[in-house]
Structure 1
Amino acid sequence: MQQALKGSVLLQVDVTKNSPQDVALLKHLQVLGLPTILFFNAEGQEQPERRVTGFMDAVVFSAHLRDWQA
């Protein structure tokens, strides 16, 4: 999995406090459930077809990453 994410920038946001800023961010990104993983291209545009919502085990997530590298 590390190889599949090589060259990627990871940004993790803790929204567990559910502050007004957290709520605004979730609304802006249209996050309906947690955890959610968003993917953006080099221009900063989200790639919505790559979005993952909910738990995904390592094997399935690795396959998801491989599918998008092809």
Structure 2
Amino acid sequence: MRDLPDDDTWLSDRWREIGQRVRTERVRQGLTQDQVWQVARIDRRTLQNVEAGKEMKIGTLLRIAWVLDVPPASLIP
């Protein structure tokens, strides 16, 4: 078992990487943010926050992965 680091910077690094992966996949597919948030039935601001690397709910990430047709694990570092 590993001990957690003394601070939570590792968490924000992971959130940013998830956001970058979501953005990269969305752009690769030629989709706009509007298309994704509407089909995923999430708020526009929520998708913007995800792509900005802010903390998100797992349900939100699952919805986005479903819409992008990618395994959720491909978005998580």
Band the TM-score falls in, shorter-chain normalisation: 0.3 to 0.5
Q: Give the structure with the larger helix fraction.
A: 2
Normalised by the length of structure 2, the TM-score is: 0.31
Normalised by the length of structure 1, the TM-score is: 0.33
